Amino acid sequence: MSRLDSAIRRLQAQRACLDWAVAGIAGQPGPVLELGLGNGRTYDHLRQRLPGRQIFVFERQVAAHPDCVPDAAHLLLGDFRDTLPGALARTGGGAVFAHCDIGSGDPALTAELAAFVGPALAPLLAAGAVVAADQALDIAGCTAVALPDGVAPGRYHLYRKDAE
């Protein structure tokens, strides 16, 4: 499989997981969290699929296409270690969906970040919330969920927070 094949499969898996989550939260009020804005591609996808839904974006340094940057009220700028712990004050309540696209080219840094994000995310989620992530996460109170058809195991990760 070439890097081109791999990129296509990764984006397809990402979209399948996002669309699964979008369908899963229909009718459930609450904000959405996007951890990692990157080039803004998945943020653009979510805001199109979730019109009217508040989406809070966490990003260390914005490098997205200018069209894909949220307004200041929905952008938590800085290291996840600084922005996640107090985020409930900004979001105003538990999120019904969190998308985490946090991997970088550095496997050690990525693993370190994933180890922080899992526990830090748990208190920001509403009961029954879903999580889609490019990395395996250990989120207290969350259980792994089967991936949509066509998404190879390990290519993306889905979790659901237990009802309280």
Site residues (vs a copy of itself, CB under 8 A): 2-5, 7-8, 11-12, 14-15, 18, 39-42, 44-45, 48-49, 65, 68
Nearest distance from residue 91's CB to a copy of itself, in Å? 23
- Concatenated DSSP letters of 51-118: TT--EEEEESS--S-GGG---GGGEEES-HHHHSTTTHHHH-S-EEEEEE----S-HHHHHHHHHHHH
Nearest distance from residue 46's CB to a copy of itself, in Å? 8
Which of 45, 157 has the CB closer to a copy of itself? 45
Nearest distance from residue 162's CB to a copy of itself, in Å? 29
Structure tokens at 55: 């989406």
Which of 14, 83 has the CB closer to a copy of itself? 14
DSSP SS3 for 155:
coil
